[in-house]
A and B are shown apart, each in its own frame.
Chain A
Amino acid sequence: MNTLKVLNIISEQDPEIFDRIDTRRKAMHAFTGLGKKIALISAPFMLGTVLNKAYGQAPTSSVIDVLNFALTLEYLEYEFYLQATNSAGLIPAGAATSAITTIRNHELAHVNFLKTAITGAGGTPVGKPNFDFSGGNGTGTGPFAAAFSNYQLFLAVAQTLEDTGVRAYKGQAGNLINSDDVLEAALNIHSVEARHASHVRQMRKANNFGDVKPWITGKDTGGIGALVQANYDGEELTTQADINIINIGGKNISANAASESFDEPLTTAQVLALVDAFIV
Chain B
Amino acid sequence: MTLTKSQGQIQNEFDTQQKALGRRKFLRNTGAALTAGALVSMMACDKDDNNDNVGVNFGTGDFAILNFAYALEQLEAAFYTQVIATPYTGMSASETSLLTDIRDHEIAHREFFKAALGTNAIQALEVDFSTVDFNIRDSVLKTAKAFEDLGVSAYNGAGRYLASVDYLLLAGKIVSVEARHAAYIRDLLSNGSFADGSVIDANGLEMSRKPRAVLSIAAPYIKTQLNASSLPA
Please report A residues at the B interface, Cβ cutoff 8 Å: 39-41, 43-44, 95, 98-99, 102-103, 105-110, 112-113, 166, 170, 173-174, 177, 180-181, 183-185, 187-199, 202, 213-215, 240-241, 243, 245, 248-249, 251-254, 257-258, 260-265
Contacts and interface: CB of A to CB of B under 8 A. Distances in A.
B204 A113 contact: yes
Interface string B154-190: 0111011011011011101111111111111001000
A258 B116 contact: no
B130 interface: no
Contacts of B204: 105-110, 113, 189, 192
Contacts of A249: 111, 114-115
Interface residues of B, number: 57
Contacts of A264: 173
B13 to A, nearest CB: 8
B98 interface: yes
A40 B207 CA distance: 12
Given A41-B13, A113-B205, A261-B177, 4 more contacts: A173-B159, A190-B172, A198-B183, A253-B104
Contact of B101 (A173, A181, A215, A252): A215
B202 interface: yes
B177 A262 contact: yes
Given A106-B195, A214-B180, A40 B202 contact: yes
Interface of B: 13, 17, 20-21, 98, 101, 104-105, 107-109, 111-112, 114-116, 152, 155-157, 159-160, 162-163, 165-166, 168-170, 172-184, 187, 191-192, 194-196, 200-208
Contact of A192 (B163, B177, B205): B205
A6 B176 CA distance: 25
Nearest to B159: A187
Contact of A248 (B115, B169, B208): B115
